[in-house]
Each structure stands twice: as C-alpha cells, then as structure tokens.
C-alpha cells in the first residue's frame, strides 16, 4: 500500500489461492473488484480504501466474510470507500460486507457494527430470493439502477430500520422501487384524499417517508398488506417494474393518465386477486401478457 500504483486489478488474482492478505489502500488503482478474488478462500484481510476502485463488491467476494474474512474489534477485515453521508454524497463503491467504510474525499474511516453488516446481507439475500425478478441480483446492477437505489434507501436512509424478518419488508421495498422507477412530484404529496372506486379516502403522507408505507400517498392496505394503488394522473414517467408482481394482495391498480412507457410486465399475472387494472392514457406498447388471461377475478382492464 501507499506506493501510488495505478491500473486495474486483473482477473488472474484469483489464481493466488493461498493469499491471506491483500492491502491495496492509498494507491491509484481503478476499475472494479474482480469476482475471481472470491476464489481466494484463505483471504483474511482485504484493504481497498483510498483508491479509485468503484462499482459494487461482487457477491463472490462478499461470500468470503462467511469463510476467511473475519471481523474483530482489534483488526479491520475488509475496508473500502463505501461510507454513506459524510463528505461524499454517495459511496464511491457499494459494499454490503465491509466492516470498515471510508469516505473517498476526506479519507475518514469508520468501523461498522457487525450486526449492521449481518442485517445488510440478510436483507439483500431475502430480496434477491423473494422479490427481484428475471434472475436479477444486486451485484450485477449499476448504482443508479432503481432497484439498487431502493435497496440503498431501505438499508441506509429509511428510519424504520427494518430487519430481514419484518413481515412488510418485501412490500416496502417494492413500493420504494416504484418511487425510484417512476419520476413524479406525486411522491412528495400528502394530505387528505377523496375516496375513489376501490379505495376509501384517508390521510396520507409522502412516499419514502420513514413511517408505515400503508400511510404513503394513495396506498391502501388491509391488515397491513397493500391492496390498492390509486396513482392516476400524477405525471408518473418510466417503466412499470416487474417487481410490482410481488404485491400479491393487490386488487386495485390505477395508473391511468401518466407517462408510462415500455411493455406491460407479465409479472402482473401473479396478482391473482386483482379486480381493477387501469393503464389507459399512457405510452405503453406491445401486447397484453398471456399470464394476465388467467386472472379470474379481474373485472376491469383499460
């Protein structure tokens, strides 16, 4: 470390099968961390902070934290420029398994609580297993991907601080994904809303608030599960995320009069209790997915 070395880390580093220490900090390395590093199953210490290594730490590397990379009170195990909310507005690298995060600008480092690391890993694994669609994983996403932005909000900005065992974790993530996927000023709306078909009037607050998501603007719930979304004419712009199919208790969706484009996700066919689906007056293209023809309770489709 500290030799002003530059360049990228080669995939061949995984061939150093007996490697126990890799200290690259205070250099000018760039690019991303190769997933082949996960082959170094005896690696105990990995320091890549104060470099220009960015992107996302691969799952194969994070898996070493359950093998050889060991967290202790006396020694750092895995450090990177992953610090949130310090001088840098966003982390330079996304790392969900580092025990030390540093700021890329100020170079300040803090040692994280290992319980936080466990929470991050458990939530990420649960969402990948139960919510993400089409074989997606967080490690393969860009940092500005709405799915990753929703994960970052849930882990680091949501004051509810849910754990992986929370019953509402999945639906809270999916709703936050909607907010990051569809640009709109409606996410900041709050106040009293009139009743409409399928949804009774109530008092709501803005989306991405650190309160129960059932109180977010025009979200309707029954016994803690989301059953309705009334978001017509709110200038929503973007693609409908496939993960909306994970809100399996939805019986009412109104997205009419927006600027939605792309195709209708076939995952809507997972909403077996859906009665009302309003998608008119958008810029959607393609065909109605075959999966939706099995929705036996669907009464209204426009």
pLDDT tens, residue by residue, 269-297? 999 999 999 999 999 999 999 999 999 99
Average pLDDT over residues 110-114: 82
Q: What is the pLDDT of residue 185?
A: 64
Euclidean distance between CA atoms 282 and 261, whole angstroms: 7
pLDDT of residue 199: 42
Q: What are the pLDDT digits (tens) for 114-157? A: 777 778 878 988 999 999 999 998 876 777 889 988 988 898 78
pLDDT on residue 94: 86
User: Is it the case that residue 74 has pLDDT exceeding 60?
Assistant: yes
Q: Calculate what percentage of the chain has a pLDDT beyond 90.
A: 62
Q: Provide the whole-model pTM.
A: 0.71
For residue 135, give the 3-state DSSP assignment.
coil
Q: What is the pLDDT of residues 23-38, one digit of tens each?
A: 999 999 999 999 999 9
Q: What is the pLDDT of residues 183-237, one digit of tens each?
A: 876 677 655 443 334 444 456 688 999 999 999 989 999 999 999 999 999 889 9
pLDDT band at residue 261 under the 50/70/90 scheme:
very high
Instruction: State residue 179's pLDDT score.
Output: 93
pLDDT (0 to 100) of residue 132: 97
Residue 144: strand, helix, or coil: coil
8-63 pLDDT tens trace: 999 999 999 999 999 999 999 999 999 999 999 899 999 999 999 988 899 889 88
pLDDT at 125 (0 to 100): 87
pLDDT of residue 140: 67
Model confidence at 70: pLDDT above 70: no
Buried b / exposed e over 184-207, threshold 16 CB at 10 Å, is bebbebeeebeeeebbeebebbbb
For 129, the token pair is 């297993």
């Amino acid at each position: 470390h500290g030799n002003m070395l530059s360049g990228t880390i080669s995939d061949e580093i995984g061939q150093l099968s007996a490697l126990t220490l890799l200290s690259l900090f205070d250099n000018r390395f760039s690019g991303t961390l190769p997933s082949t590093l996960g082959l170094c199953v005896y690696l105990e210490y990995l320091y890549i902070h104060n470099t220009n290594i960015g992107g996302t730490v691969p799952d194969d590397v994070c898996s070493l934290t359950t093998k050889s990379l060991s967290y202790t009170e006396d020694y750092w195990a895995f450090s990177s420029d992953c610090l949130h909310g310090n001088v840098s507005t966003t982390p330079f690298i996304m790392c969900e398994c580092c025990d030390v995060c540093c700021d890329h600008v100020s170079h300040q480092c803090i040692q994280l609580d290992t319980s936080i690391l466990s929470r991050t890993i458990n939530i990420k694994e649960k969402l990948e297993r139960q919510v993400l669609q089409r074989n997606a994983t967080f490690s393969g996403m860009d940092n500005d991907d709405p799915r990753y932005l929703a994960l970052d909000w849930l882990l680091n900005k949501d004051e509810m601080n849910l754990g992986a065992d929370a019953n509402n974790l999945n639906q809270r993530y999916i709703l936050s994904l909607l907010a990051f996927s569809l640009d709109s000023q409606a996410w900041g709306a709050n106040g009293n809303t009139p009743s409409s078909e399928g949804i009774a009037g109530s008092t709501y607050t803005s989306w991405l608030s650190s309160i129960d998501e059932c109180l977010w603007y025009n979200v309707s719930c029954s016994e803690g599960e989301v059953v309705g979304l009334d978001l017509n004419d709110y200038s929503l712009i973007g693609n409908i995320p496939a993960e909306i199919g994970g809100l399996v208790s939805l019986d009412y969706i109104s997205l009419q009069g927006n600027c939605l484009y792309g195709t209708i996700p076939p995952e809507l066919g997972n909403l077996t209790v859906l009665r009302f689906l309003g998608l008119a007056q958008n810029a959607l293209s393609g065909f109605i997915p075959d999966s939706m023809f099995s929705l036996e309770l669907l009464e209204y489709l426009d």
